Structure 1
Amino acid sequence: EIIDLKLINEAALEFDLPKINAFDNEIKELGEIKYDFNDFNIACYGFKIKDDIKSKIKAHFISYENSDKNNGFSLLQLNPELSYKMAANIILDAYDSGADFMVVNQAKDFYMFDTCSKKLMQSSGREFKDFYVLSYFEFLSLIQGIKNPSLQNHDLKVSLI
């Protein structure tokens, strides 16, 4: 709304996202299912998992109130503390709703939830080190039994497979 009213210089909001390897290995379609995520509760942020994938695995996809709310990335340069609070509210909502991990479809979301996780924990005063964030491509790879090297680079360490 602030941007629409021209109350702020849009250039102040620009942010060069660092390269995130979690989005390098795009998988176009799902191959053989080697890991069905049975008994896992999965939260998705900003998108919905396709029905054909849901039907092939046994995971439970949870809904949570903040799944489509703005995570603050667009405000990161203008007001980092507000951005961290916004992102922390989202990830903690998924965590408190029973999710074992979160899947994101955009690099900016991964950056906010994983790369900035320490700042989110500081901002919220809560720990969620046993929670982690996967890119959609990492998730599809894991379903097929492929452990992407990008998992090693996460700030929230993935201890799934």
Structure 2
Amino acid sequence: MKLEISLFRFDKDSDYLPYYTKHFLTLKDEKNLLDILKRIHENEEFSFLDSKDSIFVVNKKFLFGLTALEDIIKIFGKDLIIEPISIKRAYKDFLINEDDFYSKFEILERFCSSEDNTFYNNQKIYYYASNTLSYKEKYIGDALLLLASKLIDENSDKRSDILKILKEQKYGASFHTNLKNRVLNFDTNIEDNIKSIQEELNFLKDFNEKTIKFEDIQIDFNLKNSFKNFNITLYNKDSKFDTFLEKFEANFINLENLDLAIKSFFINPKLTYFVASQILLSAFDEGADFLVVFNNDDFFIFNNKLKEIERISNREIPLPIIHISELQMLASGDFDKAKKSFKNHKINPRII
């Protein structure tokens, strides 16, 4: 089996911008990602941490260097893009300045033992995997929220003091975005522990904005329009529609499924607008004809809050948003019903 690998390279002392080198590797007895990097290093020197604790980004997913190669190929295929855990903080290939990570520990250091310090250091993957860092570098980080959860569980008498400190942070727990789609083989208990802290701080609330009520989709229907030659981006795809979407001949553009942090929208709407802008701009720049959403809440954010999204991105984003039920209307030829529904759109798809 042969892998095609794009390897991140950057030297702050000689390079103005990062670049990628291409490597075609016929597998021998490599067992994990570190083995691959060491094999490439034999022919072309570059800097990386050869350790059981090393972390990398492969095809936008954060994972450990000891992750089995078999699992990586099964999930991503044979074309791999390998990057450091922070491109912005890289100074020599895969080596990064981690001062930001260690400085955040100081916020709760007074409550910690040496074991707690070790625990915090072991949460590094969750710190750098957070998409929030692309919005606010001063975010206290998910590693600290996990540390807070551990400290409270083990020392209930410190609960009020720890929560008070967390609530005082300008870029604290209300800036958390879900890690599920960012980390390979993600343990959902991690997200549960962070949410427990957010709930303690009253930073979560069910999304209750008034939005359009769309019709339920009919999975079995007569397909009249297959959207051949259309480029369609799907956001937050619900797997129950897989069979429905298989009927289409469209080119589906795969983008990173970023979390809109809708449950903290009431306290931190700008975070949601920023993530929404990342999603829309990626879809638009990839040449999507429109973006399909699968629930009413997502439609409300992308459609009703478009002006706020454009303002935070400082760009116009003329990308139509279509609800999955509207896609079915179009596919089944029910154009009159679709036209009526499109009247509620900030950007009329104009594809009928």
Q: Kindly indicate whether the alpha-carbon contact (under 8 Å) linking 1:33 and 1:143 is maintained by their aligned counterparts in 2.
A: yes
Q: How does 1:47-66 map to 2 (within 5 A)?
A: 47=237, 50-65=241-256
Who is 1:19 aligned against? 211
Distance 1:93 1:75 in 2: 23
Distance 2:209 2:330 in 1: 25
C-alpha deviation, 1:72, in angstroms: 3.1
Q: Structure 2 unaligned runs (5+)?
A: 1-144, 146-172, 174-194
Q: Kindly indicate whether the alpha-carbon contact (under 8 Å) linking 2:211 and 2:300 is maintained by their aligned counterparts in 1.
A: no
Alpha carbon RMSD of aligned pairs, Å? 2.0
Who is 1:121 aligned against? 310
- The 10-residue stretch of structure 1 (51-60 or 140-149) with the greater mean CA deviation from structure 2: 51-60
Distance 1:41 1:57 in 2: 11
Q: Which AA in structure 2 matches 1:9?
A: N
CA deviation profile, 1:113-157 (whole Å, cap 9, x unmatched): 11111110111011112x111111111111011132211111122
Who is 1:139 aligned against? 327
C-alpha deviation, 1:30, in angstroms: 3.6
Identity in percent = 30
C-alpha deviation, 1:14, in angstroms: 4.1
| Number of aligned positions between the proteins | 155
Q: Which AA in structure 1 matches 2:221?
A: G
Q: Does 1:159 align with 2:350?
A: yes
Q: Kindly indicate whether the alpha-carbon contact (under 8 Å) linking 2:207 and 2:297 is maintained by their aligned counterparts in 1.
A: no
After TM superposition, the score normalised by the length of structure 2 is: 0.41
CA deviation profile, 1:61-89 (whole Å, cap 9, x unmatched): 11112xx2111322221112222111111
Q: Does 1:5 align with 2:5?
A: no
Q: Secondary structure at the match of 1:4?
A: helix
C-alpha deviation, 1:51, in angstroms: 4.5
C-alpha deviation, 1:102, in angstroms: 0.7
CA separation of 1:71/1:113 partners in 2, compared to 1, >3 Å: closer, same or farther? same
Who is 1:81 aligned against? 270
Q: Secondary structure at the match of 2:197?
A: coil
After TM superposition, the score normalised by the length of structure 1 is: 0.85
Distance 2:232 2:279 in 1: 14
CA separation of 1:92/1:20 partners in 2, compared to 1, >3 Å: closer, same or farther? same
Q: For 1:110, which of 299, 317, 321 is the aligned residue?
A: 299
CA separation of 1:19/1:48 partners in 2, compared to 1, >3 Å: closer, same or farther? closer
Distance 2:303 2:280 in 1: 10
Distance 1:37 1:76 in 2: 34
Q: Which has the larger radius of gyration?
A: 2
Who is 1:37 aligned against? 227
Q: Structure 1 unaligned runs (5+)?
A: none
C-alpha deviation, 1:27, in angstroms: 2.6
Higher relative contact order (CA 8 A, sep 6+): 1
C-alpha deviation, 1:58, in angstroms: 1.5
Q: Kindly indicate whether the alpha-carbon contact (under 8 Å) linking 1:103 and 1:133 is maintained by their aligned counterparts in 2.
A: yes
Distance 2:245 2:217 in 1: 16
C-alpha deviation, 1:90, in angstroms: 1.2
Q: Kindly indicate whether the alpha-carbon contact (under 8 Å) linking 1:64 and 1:97 is maintained by their aligned counterparts in 2.
A: no
Which protein is richer in helix relative to its size?
A: 2
Which protein is richer in strand relative to its size?
A: 2
- The 10-residue stretch of structure 1 (120-129 or 52-61) with the greater mean CA deviation from structure 2: 52-61
C-alpha deviation, 1:56, in angstroms: 2.4
Q: Kindly indicate whether the alpha-carbon contact (under 8 Å) linking 1:30 and 1:144 is maintained by their aligned counterparts in 2.
A: no
Distance 1:100 1:128 in 2: 12
Distance 2:326 2:303 in 1: 14
Q: Which AA in structure 2 matches 1:153?
A: N
Q: Secondary structure at the match of 1:134?
A: strand
